[in-house]
Amino acid sequence: SELSAIRHLVSISDLSTPELRSLVSRAAYHKKLIKSGKASTSLPLQGKTIALLFTKRSTRTRISTEGAAAYFGAHAMFLGKDDIQLGVNECLYDTTKVISSMTSCIFARVNKHSDIQELCRYSSVPIVNALCDTYHPLQAICDMLTIKETFGNTKGLKLAWIGDANNVINDLAIAALRMGISVSVATPQDVNISEHVQKVAEEVSEETHAHIELTHDPKIAAANADIIVTDTFVSMGEEAQTKRKLAKFQDFQITSSLGSIAAPGWKFMHCLPRHKFEVTDDVFYGKHSIVFPEAENRLYAAIAVIEALVVNKGKFIE
Ligand code: CP
Ligand code: NVA
């Protein structure tokens, strides 16, 4: 059907390796253009709207998406949970049908992965997952751009994830493996990457020959790592479990001493927002940290995604 031909972006696993590479290089291309003061000359989405259907807070995802929409001449329409009828007077099906009938794309930040799937099922325009409980593809694309810029290349690097096993690492691991980066994931004892994500990771690993290692020891992950990454230990929606989660992650804070076993010149990354539980100030604000250039790169990732899915209607430039 026509609806099933639409390209959505729910997770990095929706993308082939060449498609991911295309997004990363288009993001770099647009960044260069913008930095050199050359705004895009054509506004291919002038007169169009892009909906931002957000049921959770956001700084980076909202700002980058609104900026990316403006870059192509589109108007971004922020629809927060207190703005529209969804969840109070109207169901997701009706909301999806209506929003997609009047816009050119929907960036959606919802709780459940199944909500994103429902949006994809009924939307007549591309759906971009702007973070759900299981995936965060925009962050992973941004992180690949940041790593490529920092190291010049991605192949053969080692990325250590020390933290929770949910949205950010799920897409980051798949993206890194696709780009030839080996990944070592350290999580607390009874916190594990889902079997589905492990299976996808193993498939990608066979394709690109980058390895994935799962451990419960932060030191195993950090040893000789080129990049150490973490995220909050208490994700949005988990506030009631704060005490329990912080106790579980008490040995998982990124410190300079942990960094001392990483590769010389290692870099620290974090999707933000950041709390002190997961990383000390001296690492977060120190010479190894690239968190602010990383945050800025969210803009170029959003530009690349809108270009591929909306401007080019699902064609990825080689
Ligand atoms: N990294 C990220 O997605 O940040 P926001 O929650 O502020 O959008
Ligand atoms: N894991 C975090 C990411 C925020 C960008 C959360 O879900 O809240």
Residue 2 has pLDDT above 70, yes or no: no
Domain range for 261: 139-295
Per-residue model confidence (pLDDT) at position 158: 98
Same domain, 109 and 185: no
For residue 42, the domain's CATH number is 3.40.50.1370
Per-residue model confidence (pLDDT) at position 300: 98
Residues in the chain: 318
pLDDT tens column, 188-233: 999 999 999 999 999 999 999 999 999 999 999 999 999 999 999 9
Ligand lying nearest the CA atom of residue 64:
1
**The amino acid at 274:** R
Ligand lying nearest the CA atom of residue 298:
1
Per-residue model confidence (pLDDT) at position 38: 82
Per-residue model confidence (pLDDT) at position 179: 98
Indicate whether 101 belongs to any domain: yes
Per-residue model confidence (pLDDT) at position 39: 73
Minimum CA distance residue for ligand 1 atom 6: 58
Indicate whether 318 belongs to any domain: no
Residue 5 has pLDDT above 90, yes or no: no
Indicate whether 317 belongs to any domain: no
**Catalytic (active site) residue 271:** yes
Q: pLDDT tier at 281 (50, 70, 90 boundaries)? A: very high
Same domain, 143 and 291: yes
Q: Give distance in angstroms: CA of 167 to centre of ligand 2.
A: 7
Q: Give distance in angstroms: CA of 318 to centre of ligand 2.
A: 31
Peptide bond into 18 cis (omega under 30): no
Q: What is the average pLDDT score of the chain?
A: 97
Query: Average of pLDDT values for 53-68?
Result: 98
Pair type for strands 127-129 and 49-54 = unpaired
ipTM score here?
0.99
Residue 183 has pLDDT above 80, yes or no: yes
Q: What angle do CA 117, 311, 61 make, to 5 degrees?
A: 55
pLDDT tens column, 140-152: 999 999 999 999 9
Question: What are residue 263's phi and psi, to 5 degrees?
Answer: -65, 150
CB within 8 A of 133, min separation 6: which ones?
Answer: 111, 112, 113, 166, 167, 235, 237
Same domain, 149 and 118: no
Per-residue model confidence (pLDDT) at position 120: 97
Indicate whether 284 belongs to any domain: yes
Is the CB of residue 118 less than 8 Å from the CB of residue 125? no
Pair of tokens at residue 229: 């990454």
CB within 8 A of 181, min separation 6: which ones?
Answer: 147, 154, 155, 156, 157, 158, 159, 210, 227
Per-residue model confidence (pLDDT) at position 231: 98
Minimum CA distance residue for ligand 2 atom 2: 235
Q: Give distance in angstroms: CA of 13 to centre of ligand 1.
A: 20
Name every protein residue with a CB atom under 6 angstroms from any ligand 1 atom. Answer: 58-61, 131, 139, 271-273
Q: What is the tally of structural domains in the chain?
A: 2
pTM: 0.98
Same domain, 245 and 156: yes
Name every protein residue with a CB atom under 6 angstroms from any ligand 2 atom. Answer: 131, 166-168, 231-232, 235-236, 271
Q: What are the beta bridge partners of residue 53?
A: 79, 108
Question: Could you give the CA distance from residue 119 to residue 134 in angstroms, rounded to a whole number?
Answer: 15
Ligand lying nearest the CA atom of residue 235:
2
Q: pLDDT tier at 1 (50, 70, 90 boundaries)? A: low
Minimum CA distance residue for ligand 1 atom 4: 60
Q: Which atom of ligand 1 is nearest to the CA of 236?
A: 6
Per-residue model confidence (pLDDT) at position 178: 98
pLDDT tens column, 6-56: 999 999 999 999 999 999 999 999 999 999 988 767 899 999 999 999 999
Same domain, 72 and 177: no
